[in-house]
């Protein structure tokens, strides 16, 4: 964890500030969806999969993974650096190449072929540049992102960024900032859009409130932790599909995560990026649990895998 650069070009800053994630958006309080668990399955010891649905005040469908981090044999992996890491992107030279985009299912498939027993995978950090429906080969990130102990983000200061963190000693945390000295010993770190729960209370992260979807209902991915840091919750909510699932508000995420015992939580990359994949042991192939609008499964810049 010694490789750290703190430079960040003005052009990249301006590009990021022009992105919808950084545009002003006053928070709106919407009626909270009344989600209930309709199915709960033990995927393996220490890992439970749940399906949730709500009928009012709008339709919502979600999947949730509950992971006991103290369970022996559970490990983690994530998207690695691109081979040409640090070079300017050919089509967006103001951004450095950090990772190569791929679907969450392709990430699982590729890592399993490399010998990693990835059983669950989810999309994680928001990335740039982004153009609908997600056509760039490469990704760059805002905030402090680390994969398998190797920094992914070139020149990003870890201060003032919502982060999900797993340290080498097995401790998990959700942090709003880190000093450079606190980056030592981090095995994984993923930058989120903003913290939504802090010490059991609602938290309106200024980072999130600058985002274009803070007060809306849309597909979402969120990570939550229990107060003792021993249980990790991965939550993916489908959206923008009338008759099936309209999506979730930030308050919807809070209610679901709090009901699972979470005291801290962060809103991760959402929209069409939201993806939750499990390895189907019967068919021997990755299976997407959630449903994407129009069947369009997006390639994303950073995926997170649970290994067994």
Dump pLDDT digits (tens) for 220-279: 999 999 999 999 999 999 999 999 999 999 999 999 999 999 999 999 999 999 999 999
Dump pLDDT digits (tens) for 77-101: 999 999 999 999 999 999 999 999 9
Q: Is residue 153 part of a domain?
A: yes
Which domain, by its residues, includes 116? 10-248+259-307
Which residues neighbour 28 within 8 Å (Cβ) at sequence distance 6 or greater?
215, 216, 249
Q: Chain-wide mean pLDDT for the chain?
A: 89
Amino acid 13: pLDDT: 33
Q: Is residue 197 part of a domain?
A: yes
Dump pLDDT digits (tens) for 188-204: 999 999 999 999 999 99
Q: Is residue 4 part of a domain?
A: no
pTM of the model: 0.90
> In the predicted model, is pLDDT for residue 281 greater than 50?
yes
Amino acid 1: pLDDT: 42
Residue pair 245/61 in contact by the 8 Å Cβ criterion: yes
Give 212's pLDDT tier (boundaries 50, 70, 90).
Answer: low
Q: Is residue 220 part of a domain?
A: yes
Dump pLDDT digits (tens) for 22-73: 333 445 688 999 999 999 999 999 999 999 999 999 999 999 999 999 999 9
Overall number of domains in the chain:
1
Separation of alpha carbons 274 and 293, rounded Å: 11
Report which secondary-structure segment, H or E, holds 233: strand 231-237
Separation of alpha carbons 206 and 128, rounded Å: 20
Separation of alpha carbons 191 and 223, rounded Å: 11
Residue pair 148/179 in contact by the 8 Å Cβ criterion: no
Q: Is residue 291 part of a domain?
A: yes
Residue pair 142/129 in contact by the 8 Å Cβ criterion: no
Residue pair 192/265 in contact by the 8 Å Cβ criterion: no
What residue has token string 């009901």?
Answer: 259
Q: Is residue 1 part of a domain?
A: no
Separation of alpha carbons 46 and 73, rounded Å: 10
Cα distances (Å, whole numbers) of residue 33 to 62, 77, 208, 218: 11, 33, 20, 13
Please name every residue paired with 96 in a beta bridge, in sequence order, or none if there are none.
Answer: 88
Dump pLDDT digits (tens) for 215-225: 799 999 999 99
Q: Is residue 254 part of a domain?
A: no
Amino acid 306: pLDDT: 98
Cα distances (Å, whole numbers) of residue 213 to 185, 228, 271, 276: 33, 30, 9, 20
Q: Is residue 5 part of a domain?
A: no
């Amino acid at each position: 964890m010694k490789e750290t650069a703190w430079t960040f070009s003005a052009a990249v800053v301006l590009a990021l500030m022009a992105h919808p994630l950084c545009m002003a958006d006053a928070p709106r309080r919407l009626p909270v969806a009344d989600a209930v668990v309709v199915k709960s399955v033990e995927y393996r010891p220490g890992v439970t999969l749940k399906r949730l649905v709500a009928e009012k005040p709008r339709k919502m469908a979600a999947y949730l993974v509950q992971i006991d981090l103290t369970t022996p044999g559970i490990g983690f992996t994530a998207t690695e650096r691109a081979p040409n890491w640090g070079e300017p992107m050919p089509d967006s030279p103001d951004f450095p190449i950090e990772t190569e985009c791929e679907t969450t299912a392709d990430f699982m498939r590729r890592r399993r072929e490399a010998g990693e027993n990835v059983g669950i995978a989810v999309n994680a950090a928001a990335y740039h540049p982004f153009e609908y429906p997600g056509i760039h080969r490469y990704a760059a990130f805002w905030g402090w992102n680390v994969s398998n102990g190797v920094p992914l983000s070139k020149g990003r200061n870890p201060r003032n960024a919502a982060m999900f963190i797993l340290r080498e000693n097995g401790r998990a945390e959700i942090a709003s900032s880190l000093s450079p000295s606190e980056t030592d010993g981090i095995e994984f770190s993923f930058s989120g859009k903003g913290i939504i729960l802090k010490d059991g209370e609602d938290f309106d992260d200024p980072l999130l409130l600058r985002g274009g979807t803070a007060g809306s209902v849309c597909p979402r991915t969120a990570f939550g932790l229990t107060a003792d840091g021993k249980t990790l919750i991965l939550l993916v909510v489908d959206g923008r599909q009338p008759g099936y699932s309209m999506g979730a508000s930030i308050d919807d995420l809070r209610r679901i995560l709090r009901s699972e015992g979470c005291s801290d939580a962060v809103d991760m990359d959402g929209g069409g990026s939201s993806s939750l994949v499990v390895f189907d042991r019967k068919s021997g192939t990755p299976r997407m649990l959630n449903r994407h609008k129009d069947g369009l499964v997006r390639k994303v810049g950073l995926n997170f895998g649970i290994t067994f």
